Structure 1
C-alpha cells in the first residue's frame, strides 16, 4: 500500500495527501453531531452534507479511497465510500470490508453505494443472507429487498415470508429492521403476497410502536404497505 504521504490530484487541480484529507475531516467534527450519532451506534461527528461536499471536491480516487478505508476512522470510511469506484472492488475484498465495517452507517453506505453497484452483488447477497453475524445477514436481507422490488425473478417470495414469520420477532435489531423492510417490500410490490405480508406484520407486531414523526410513514409493515400502495394508486 502507498505511504500516506503520497500526493494525489483532486478535481480542482490541487494535490492532497491522505493526512491532509484526514485533517479536513477533523475540521468538520461537531461534538453535538457525535453525541446524536452515538445513540445510534455511530462514532463520528461529521455533518454528512459537508462530507459530501468534500467528496465532490476530492473527486473519485480509488487508491485514496482504499487508504482512507484502512484508517478505520468512521468519517474517513464514509468519505472513502463516496470517492471510490464500486466496480473496482473484488468479491472477497467487499466481504472483508463489510465484516470490518463496525458501525451501522458505514455498513449501510457500503451496501447502498458500493455493493449494490458491484458485479458481485447477488453472489454476496446469497453468501450474506444466512450469515451467523446479524450485521452481515442484515446486508444480505437489504440486497434481497432490492431484488424483491426491482428484479424478483428467481426469488422464492413465499420462502422469504416463511423465514420472516419464523425469525423476525426475535431477530437482533438491525437484522429485524432489514427483515421487516423485506416483508413490507413484498407486500408493496407483489399483490399476490400482500394479504399474507400484512397478516404476518399484524401477528408479529414488529415496530408497531416505533416513534414516527408527523408526515413520515410508520415502519410497521401493515401501515407501511397500506400507505405505499395508496400512493401508487393515486400516482
Structure 2
C-alpha cells in the first residue's frame, strides 16, 4: 500500500475522476509493480479487501483467476465500485474462470444494471469466440428493445455486443446495422482522430472493411 501511495499522481487522479475512477496510479508503473511481485493469490485477496481501487487493480494483476470461487467472484463484482476495477475484474479474471459461462447467464439477467453490464461484456466475448449455442437473433431482440433506455454502462456493453454480432456474423449484419441506425446509441460520441467510432453501424462497417472475408 505504501508503494501504491508513492506512485499516486494528482494529475492522473484528476483525469481518472472524470471517468468515475478514484485512483491516480500510473497504470504502466502499476504493471511494473505487478511484474515484480509475480503471482501471489493470497496477497491479491488481501489487497482486494482494502476497498482501495489501486490496490484492487494490482490484485487482479497478481491473482490466480481460477483460484477464486464462483460465488466469490459474484460478491467481488458487486463490490467493484468504479469502472476500471469492474472492467479489469471481468476481463482479466472472470473471462479466465471455469464458471464464466454460469456467471454470464446469471449476471445478464440481474436487475442491477452494473452487474448486468458484466453479463453483456461476457456475452460479447462469446459472440466473437464461442457463438455456438447462442441465440443471436434473440440477443438482437433484447438489444433492440432495451439498449436505447439502458443506463450508461449497460448500454455501452449491449452496444458492444450489437457491434460484435454485426462484425462476426454476416447473416445478422444487416439487422445489427439497422438496429444501430434506428436507436442512434453513441452516434454523437466524441471519437479521437484515427479511432473507430463506437456507433455500431460505423464500427461494424469499418471492422468488416479491415477484415476481407468477414
Matched, 1:94 2:94: no
* Aligned residue among 118, 128, 135 for 2:107: 128
Q: 1:116-171: per-residue Cα shift (whole Å, max 9, x none)?
A: 00001000000000211111000000000000000001100000000000000000
Consecutive unaligned residues of structure 1, counting only runs of 5 or more, are 1-21
* Aligned residue among 179, 203, 208 for 2:182: 203
* TM-score normalised per structure 2: 0.99
Aligned to 1:62: 41
Matched, 1:29 2:8: yes
* TM-score normalised per structure 1: 0.90
Q: 1:1-48: per-residue Cα shift (whole Å, max 9, x none)?
A: xxxxxxxxxxxxxxxxxxxxx000000100001011111110000000
Q: Output the aligned Cα RMSD.
A: 0.9
What is the CA distance between 1:188 and its match in structure 2? 0.1
What is the CA distance between 1:234 and its match in structure 2? 8.1
* Aligned residue among 119, 137, 157 for 1:140: 119
Detail structure 1 runs of 4+ shifted over 3 Å in the superposition.
Answer: none
Structure 2: distance between partners of 1:75 and 1:65: 12
Structure 1: distance between partners of 2:162 and 2:213: 23
SS at match of 1:222: helix
Aligned residues: 214
Aligned to 2:203: 224
SS at match of 1:165: helix
Q: 1:47-99: per-residue Cα shift (whole Å, max 9, x none)?
A: 00000000000110000000000000000000000000000001000000000
Consecutive unaligned residues of structure 2, counting only runs of 5 or more, are none
Matched, 1:82 2:57: no
Aligned to 1:116: 95
